[in-house]
């Protein structure tokens, strides 16, 4: 054994994040709502930066758990954290397995529960083996368990896929045991091991659901109130646990009002998150169009997970820390982010580890054969140098084409959106790569800040300069250029901001083709949509206008009230 438990947990969490989109794409059980990868990523994120105090880590797992899969996995890892490596690991896995099976109202084999049970058996039966042999045997048995899920549950059999939660746990334990036991970790080629079971066959199964997927935390008046035992009358897919006088509940319900009433009678609701199952299942049922070459880009480019799903592209996340909570950028609730910033809570950004980034490159080539990575400008992050370093020893055939876009935020996002559209009809990959380079160079973007204080807090300007600027009501206009984010103007108020933006749009007027315009918002979506969009449409009647959230990485540095406009004069 060469590693420590926390390093292994961190490695497993990173690997889940890398493969989250694939898990979403095959999530047909218990509901075809395409969120298993998201839920596991959010739920297990505390394991990425584990606190030294295990009780604190368990508390964070309790609060962050989302969805059916995330709540079950959270229960397992809470049990796992009761033990350590070596002989204690088996007992800890047994404890975690028992908690996971007990957490769900209707536990079913053929899910991640089967993976947990098989893990316990495999560890017990390999205690005398060498570390390398043990890892090989255990992971082999977990792989076989995942493959069996296709035949164990009808929705999986109909869709001809493995269970998304079970595969997620295999992916986690692949990294976990490699780091825990081996000097040189070698992660399994997921795309090869499960290749025949990673695409939903024919139409998307399950139909369109209705109702809500709710995750709630309730501070109970009394432990285990009897009324909560009847929640099955108003919902299903129930996962629950009590911890520290609180109830953590996951449920699918068509009656949120009644659920709130029941929970409120038994205690105080301290946390509530709800997903629209109809919207989720409709999104899941839409099959992304095929592409000439697969497109990959950075989430720093003002793109969302919905964009990625619709256009069939891969997003590489950076990370945002809100207080003590870490999230991949595109998994952050923007309302929570901007409320936290307005409330003075410390918010920071960071890059994914080199290991995580390398896994993304390997995954994309394994799944698609060839790909184009339209990379955030090298002046902004180390992503370009990281991928070029990886290519030296891992891509001798140059299957991953890389472009340093020289941009970020809306400039990068707009170029990626336009490139993905071109890739639907282009004759070959070379034509797509050529277009991407031209689009990245042609895009313009102007970002308008409401206050300078957040730039100062992030170290991107002096605090003295920020105070001076705010006192004079001067607001910079910033553009992300190849040489860095540059101040390209100063204005006093929103009226001046709008006039500046409309004047810049005049360069699109004679472009000869329908320009593409992205309007970006932070916590001001209704204002941008209601006031800015009509002005832009009037200025450019033939423009296609997209109203999009500003990259949250950018939002952290510029703050609430920021908005932006990006445009591509020629889109063909």
> Residue with structure tokens 């918010």?
347
For 219, phi then psi, to 5°, come to -85, 110
**Residues 523, 525: Cα–Cα separation, whole Å:** 6
**Residues 319, 331: Cα–Cα separation, whole Å:** 9
pLDDT digits (tens, 9 = 90+) for 523-566: 999 999 999 999 999 989 988 999 999 999 999 999 999 999 99
Q: Which CATH number fits domain 444-568: 3.40.640.10, 3.50.50.60, 3.30.1180.10, 3.30.2320.80?
A: 3.30.1180.10
**Residues 412, 299: Cα–Cα separation, whole Å:** 9
| Fold designation for 5-197 | 1.25.40
466's tokens = 């920020």
C-alpha distances (whole Å) from 79 to each of 76, 103, 170, 331, 410 are 5, 12, 18, 26, 43
- Average confidence score pLDDT of the chain: 90
| Fold designation for 212-282 | Alpha-Beta Plaits (3.30.70)
Tell me the whole-structure pTM to 2 decimals: 0.92
Percent of the chain clearing pLDDT 70 (strictly above): 92
Strand partners for 372: 295, 401
**Residues 519, 421: Cα–Cα separation, whole Å:** 19
**Residues 511, 269: Cα–Cα separation, whole Å:** 55
**Residues 4, 205: Cα–Cα separation, whole Å:** 42
Put residue 409 in one of left, alpha, beta given phi > 0 → left and psi -120 to 50 → alpha: left
**Residues 341, 557: Cα–Cα separation, whole Å:** 10
pLDDT digits (tens, 9 = 90+) for 218-229: 999 988 777 677
- Tell me the domain boundaries of the chain: 5-197, 212-282, 284-442, 444-568
* Model confidence band, residue 475 (pLDDT cutoffs 50, 70, 90): confident
CATH number of 284-442: 3.40.50.10170
| 203: number of Cβ within 10 Å | 11
pLDDT digits (tens, 9 = 90+) for 265-300: 999 999 999 999 988 888 887 766 678 899 999 999
Report how far apart the first and last C-alpha atoms of the chain are (Å, whole number): 56
- Per-residue confidence (pLDDT) for residue 467, from 0 to 100: 39
Least Cα distance to 140 among 158, 119, 154, 157 occurs for 119
**Residues 350, 383: Cα–Cα separation, whole Å:** 12
Q: For the ranges 48-52, 165-169, 232-236, 308-312, which has the lowest average pLDDT?
A: 48-52
pLDDT digits (tens, 9 = 90+) for 54-76: 888 999 999 999 999 999 999 99
**Residues 340, 334: Cα–Cα separation, whole Å:** 10
pLDDT digits (tens, 9 = 90+) for 89-100: 999 999 999 999
**Residues 327, 46: Cα–Cα separation, whole Å:** 9
The residue ranges of DSSP E strands in 246-324, in sequence order, are: 246-253, 267-276, 294-298, 314-316, 319-322
């Amino acid at each position: 054994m060469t590693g420590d438990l926390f390093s292994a947990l961190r490695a497993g969490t990173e690997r889940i994040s890398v493969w989250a989109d694939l898990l979403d794409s095959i999530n047909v059980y218990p509901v075809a709502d395409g969120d298993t990868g998201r839920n596991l990523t959010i739920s297990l994120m505390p394991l990425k930066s584990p606190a030294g105090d295990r009780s604190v880590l368990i508390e964070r797992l309790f609060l962050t758990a989302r969805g059916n899969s995330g709540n079950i996995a959270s229960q397992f890892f809470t049990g796992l954290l009761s033990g350590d490596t070596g002989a204690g690991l088996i007992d800890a896995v047994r404890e975690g397995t028992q908690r996971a099976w007990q957490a769900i109202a209707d536990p079913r084999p053929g899910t991640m529960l089967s993976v947990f049970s098989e893990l316990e058996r495999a560890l017990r039966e390999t205690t005398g083996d060498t570390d390398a042999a043990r890892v090989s045997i255990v992971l082999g048995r977990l792989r076989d368990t995942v493959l069996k899920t296709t035949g164990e549950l009808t929705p999986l059999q109909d869709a001809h896929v493995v269970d998304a939660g079970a595969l997620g746990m295999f992916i986690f334990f692949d990294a976990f045991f490699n780091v825990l036991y081996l000097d040189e970790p070698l992660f399994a080629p997921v795309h090869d091991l499960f290749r025949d079971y990673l695409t939903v066959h024919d139409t998307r199964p399950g139909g369109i659901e209705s109702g809500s997927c709710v995750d709630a935390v309730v501070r109970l008046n009394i432990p285990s109130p009897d009324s909560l035992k009847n929640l099955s009358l108003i919902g299903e897919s129930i996962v629950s646990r009590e911890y520290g006088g609180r109830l953590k509940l996951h449920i699918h319900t068509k009656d949120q009002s009644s659920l709130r009433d029941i929970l409120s009678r038994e205690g105080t609701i301290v946390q509530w998150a709800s997903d629209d199952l109809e919207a989720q299942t409709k999104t899941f049922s839409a099959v992304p169009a095929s592409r000439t070459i697969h497109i990959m880009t950075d989430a720093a480019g003002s793109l969302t997970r919905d964009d990625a799903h619709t256009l069939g592209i891969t997003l590489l996340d950076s990370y945002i820390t809100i207080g003590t909570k870490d999230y991949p950028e595109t998994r952050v609730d923007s309302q929570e982010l901007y409320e936290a910033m307005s409330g003075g809570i410390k918010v920071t950004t960071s890059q994914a580890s080199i290991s995580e980034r390398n896994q993304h490159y390997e995954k994309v080539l394994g799944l698609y054969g060839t790909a184009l990575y339209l990379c955030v400008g090298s002046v902004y992050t180390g992503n370009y140098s990281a991928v070029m370093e990886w290519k030296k020893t891992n891509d001798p055939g140059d299957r991953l084409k890389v472009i340093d876009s020289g941009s970020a935020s809306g400039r990068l996002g707009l170029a990626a959106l336009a490139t993905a559209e071109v890739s639907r009809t282009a004759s070959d990959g070379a034509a797509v790569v050529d277009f991407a380079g031209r689009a990245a160079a042609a895009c313009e973007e102007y970002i308008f800040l409401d206050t300078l204080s957040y730039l100062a807090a992030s170290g991107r300007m002096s605090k003295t300069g920020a105070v001076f600027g705010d006192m004079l009501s001067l607001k910079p206009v910033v553009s992300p250029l190849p040489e860095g984010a540059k101040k390209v103007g100063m204005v006093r108020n929103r009226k001046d901001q709008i006039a500046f933006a409309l004047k810049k749009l005049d360069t699109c007027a004679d472009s000869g083709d329908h320009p593409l315009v992205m309007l970006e918002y932070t916590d001001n979506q209704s204002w941008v949509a209601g006031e800015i969009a009509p002005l832009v449409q009037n200025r450019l009647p033939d423009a296609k206008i997209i109203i999009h959230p500003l990259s949250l990485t950018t939002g952290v540095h510029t703050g609430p009230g920021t908005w932006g406009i990006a445009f591509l004069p020629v889109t063909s």
